Structure 1
């Protein structure tokens, strides 16, 4: 069944209804400001693998996030809900559609990965499958690779795996436990595996968190979502490292993102999603 096309107004209504954007998104102001300060202090977890061209103090970070995301621009506002401007969200989704359309035209290869496997794997997977239908090759290298990742409590052992065409990180101790991660290590491992096998790097990386920043830092066009507390992708976009960072809440039910992927595919003039 082909889905009906979404108008921009309908998508904005969807974003507001599910609090993916709007005046009171789930990530509170105090959480945003904490992450802005951590990025300004060059905290490795906040950098997500990015090596910024210049020092970004908390004030410069807030100014950028107000511009790119639509958060409240005043540091004096320290508690309560914060904002993602839905118009900025849709603008960025349309830029992401342009990135997909360009990749489809040249039948480029695509690698998709997510640090939010229980939330965003379906979003990335829908885009990747549409590109595959358009003649693009999907890459899922380094499956089964084990690695250690730092955590606030120490370290954990992880395994690179996939949900459909989307690379994810699983716990080495529980095959069913999908892990949330900001680390660039998974995309570095995947790209290193391609190089070791004598294969070319992908023409596009779809992802979030460290998947975006890690790929962008290596010069690979990358695009995908970032929440209002995820500074690194927006700094990377501002500095020209990441092609597109889409401001939106990244912790909603996975079904909420179906309308967004449908809209991107519609704007990219790619094959419609089929149930």
Structure 2
């Protein structure tokens, strides 16, 4: 009978959350170069302490994700080592277990609600059942985010304990759960409001993109998933701003992430 780890590895490969993923190699290499040039759109809230050059980033991403370290490998799809994903999920779960044992407050947010909302909502439910306050600061607050279409105003909202941003007037629905963003501005707004509120600041921030890097840059313990074309979380982990970055494809079907939620909650002894 397969172990939970074996079953998870098989699921990661079958759904292409890891293994040969859909992320184009060309896009990853382009984003590594943009990060080396300190493009804010790729830094997503991180302010690297060191001068990361393209070669440094390629070696780091090969080490942390399992992508090819050969700079001459310029086409096709990226490969994420499922063993690295599982090791990172174990570390992720261990951090959840410690926070739950202390019944400490947490803040959870995503820039990928179309894909990852269910993953985070399951974590929020498990942590809440364990006695942790799942914070919801600055609900409804406006956030001005620069996009490729110019500056747009979004509203900060929470769904099942998970923060996301919506366009003004947008209503929650299964087809439009929130907007996709890499910006660190939502987490900055949420943390500023938390500092002024009665519930206080979170002991842990769980999220992706700008939520992960933005919180880590501000000195909060932060953990979350990251794709192979997003070097910022892995640089943040290497430099100590991010506690855990889990390498995985963050664009597959939302229901494919349910076994990851179950695995993490079981390991953290938070299953409901």
Q: TM-score, normalised by structure 1?
A: 0.94
1:257, distance to aligned residue in structure 2 (A):
0.3
Q: Give the length in aligned residue pairs.
A: 267
Match of 1:16 among 7, 13, 16: 13
1:184 aligns with 2:184: yes
1:101 to 85, 97, 105: 97
Q: How does 1:1-275 map to 2 (within 5 A)?
A: 7-22=4-19, 24-172=20-168, 174-176=170-172, 177=176, 178-197=178-197, 199-272=199-272
TM-score using structure 2 length: 0.95
Residues 20-65 of structure 1, C-alpha deviations (whole Å, 9 max, x = no match): 000x200010011011011111010100100111111111111100
Partners of 1:6 and 1:244 in 2: CA distance: 24
4+ residue segments displaced more than 4 Å: none
Once the two structures are TM-superposed, the CA of residue 198 in structure 1 deviates from its matched residue by: 5.2
Distance in 1 of aligned mates of 2:195 and 2:46: 21
Where structure 1 has 5 or more consecutive residues not aligned to the other structure, the ranges are none
C-alpha distance in 2 between matches for 1:30 and 1:172: 35
What is the rounded CA distance, in whole Å, between the counterparts of 2:162 and 2:169 in structure 1? 21
**Secondary structure, aligned partner of 1:26:** strand
CA deviations over 1:197-237 (Å, ceiling 9, x no partner): 35421011110001001111121111110000011100001
When the two chains are superposed, the root-mean-square deviation of aligned CA atoms in Å is: 1.3
Between stretches 216-225 and 93-102, larger displacement belongs to 216-225
Is the 1:157–1:173 Cα contact (8 Å) retained in structure 2? no
Q: Which moved more, 1:166-175 or 1:200-209?
A: 166-175
- Give the distance between the partners of 1:211 and 1:133, measured in 2 at CA: 23
Offset at residue 155 of structure 1 (A): 1.6
Q: Quick one: distance in 1 between partners of 2:181 and 2:253? A: 18
Shift, 1:173, TM fit = 5.1
Name the SS of the counterpart of 2:113 in structure 1.
coil
Report the Cα distance in structure 2 between the residues aligned to 1:149 and 1:49, rounded to whole angstroms.
12
Which structure 2 residue ranges, 5 or more long, are not aligned? none
Aligned-residue offset at 1:271: 2.5
- In structure 2, C-alpha distance between the alignment counterparts of 1:271 and 1:249, rounded to whole Å: 24
Q: In 2, distance between residues paired with 1:141 and 1:105?
A: 23
Partners of 1:195 and 1:188 in 2: how far apart?
11
SS in 2 for 1:136: coil
